[in-house]
Amino acid sequence: MLDYKKNRTKVNLLMLFPLVINSAFATSNEFIESLSYYFQSYWILIIATFFLIGVLISKILQNINLKSRSDNYDLTDSEAEDYVTDSHLMGHDFDDLSKLSEDLDTLEKLHREKIDQIEGVKKDNLTKIKELKNKINSNFNHIRSIESSNTKDRNQITQRNKVSEKEAKSIRIREIQNQKQRDLILERNELNEKKLIELKRKEELNQENFNRVEEHNRVIDEKTKEIDSLTKELKKSNRLAKEAINVKKAKINNKDISKKNIVKKPEHKNQNIKRKNKTSTKKKKNNP
């Protein structure tokens, strides 16, 4: 046990601490239930508890200062008697008891004032604790609303992600189809290029054949020109031969007419002339 005379401040603190704790946690069960209900938001709980602890510590320090100031006046009856005997009765008469009673009254008033101050501090602490509880509840309600909005946003985001995944799958399918079409188009282009190469080769062959045909036509034209010139010459030679034949016939006719007027010669001579005429006509037929 502590000696009250020697350790007044300690004893007063020990007496004051349960009072403050009881006043602070008068409704501790409800408070603990609310805290356990919102235990999922533990970081806000930690902040709120540290804030409450700070407020309580500040209030305890204020009460300590008040009690330290009122230690000289917060006395029991025995201490008051000791105080009277120590301070007032030493060297004074007992006729001053009225003054001592007045001092006791003033001490009682001071003691009551201090008690009233403590009660006011208690009430202030209770009101502040209620305000803190209300703030905590409002914060938790705000956190609930934020969490509900976050859940809604998450649901919307998941829905959008599902839709985007479906769109991505459809896009991938389209890309695969487009890639297949591109491959087919490339194959067709390769075939077309091969066909074009073959067509070019055929065109080159056709051009070569055409050139050959033109060359043959040119040769044929030259030959036809030569033939035309030869036919012209043949026609000319035939015309000249016909003219020569006609001249010879005319000469022969003239000779015949002259022979009729001349005396007839022996027959063997006439036979030789006929033979010569036959040979001459054969030569003319062979060489027109």
Tell me, what's the pLDDT at 6?
47
Q: Would you say residue 89 has pLDDT above 60?
A: no
Q: Would you say residue 26 has pLDDT above 80?
A: no
Under the banding of pLDDT at 50, 70 and 90, the label for residue 186 is: very high
**Average confidence (pLDDT) over 215-229:** 88
Q: Would you say residue 92 has pLDDT above 50?
A: no
- Listing DSSP states for the chain in one string gives ---TTT-HHHHHHHHHHHHHHHHHTTTHHHHHHHHHHTTTSHHHHHHHHHHHHHHHHHHHHHHHHHHHHTTTT---HHHHHHHIIIIISTT--GGGHHHHHHHHHHHHHHHHHHHHHHHHHHHHHHHHHHHHHHHHHHHHHHHHHHHHHHHHHHHHHHHHHHHHHHHHHHHHHHHHHHHHHHHHHHHHHHHHHHHHHHHHHHHHHHHHHHHHHHHHHHHHHHHHHHHHHHHHHHHHHHHHHHHHHHHHHHHHHHHHHHHHHSPPPPHHHHHHHHHHHHHHHHHHHH--
Tell me, what's the pLDDT at 223?
87
Q: Which pTM does this prediction carry?
A: 0.29
Which segment of 6-10, 65-69, 157-161 scores lowest on mean pLDDT? 6-10
**Average confidence (pLDDT) over 180-198:** 91
Task: Identify the top-confidence range among 19-33, 101-115, 183-197, 246-260.
Answer: 183-197
Tell me, what's the pLDDT at 185?
92
